[in-house]
């Protein structure tokens, strides 16, 4: 007997899995390894939409012809002063991102893409976020919580970073 589900999810993000479960969408995970590298002079909103679509397309291309459920791909970036901040590669870079965001207003851009038979759709959401000034102690303490190491901009607004 085949398990019933609504879509495939081409994302390793625990938050995306949580959101789909929260809204009652059943899914199966697809492991996608899509390099997240902006093109030269590529605008952040174009980049994040391209990445979401590339992930959905890569997942869709993994499927057999008879198993063509829609595939959801997604991506999020943080943009400050026109610079795209992705996921931190290490603690030094993550803390530097947090210091850069300290006391600033920046944008969080999230794109989702759905790929199905002869159809595709991409949607973009842009949120404006204002961080209070962060001390080095604040940054060290937040980084030590381990919730932001795989998040764009090195923070999770739905977590402990909400206090900032």
Would you please indicate which residues are annotated as catalytic (active-site) residues? 75
Strand partners for 115: 71, 120
Element (H, E) at 92: helix 91-101
CA distance 110 to 77: 7
CA pair distance 95, 34, nearest whole angstrom: 25
Nearest Cα residue to 109 out of 64, 154, 44, 60: 44
């Amino acid at each position: 007997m085949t398990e019933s589900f609504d879509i495939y999810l081409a994302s390793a993000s625990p938050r995306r899995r949580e959101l789909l479960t929260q809204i009652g969408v059943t899914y199966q995970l697809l492991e996608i390894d899509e390099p997240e590298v902006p093109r030269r002079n590529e605008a952040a909103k174009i980049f994040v939409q391209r990445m979401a679509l590339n992930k959905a397309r890569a997942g869709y291309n993994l499927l057999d012809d008879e198993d063509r459920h829609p595939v959801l791909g997604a991506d999020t970036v943080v943009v400050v002063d026109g610079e795209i901040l992705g996921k931190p590669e290490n603690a030094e870079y993550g803390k530097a991102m947090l210091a850069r965001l300290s006391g600033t207003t920046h944008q969080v851009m999230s794109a989702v893409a759905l790929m199905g038979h002869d159809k595709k759709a991409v949607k973009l959401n842009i949120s404006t976020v204002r961080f209070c000034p962060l001390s080095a102690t604040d940054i060290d303490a937040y980084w030590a919580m381990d919730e932001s190491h795989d998040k764009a901009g090195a923070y999770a607004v739905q977590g402990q970073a909400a206090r900032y």
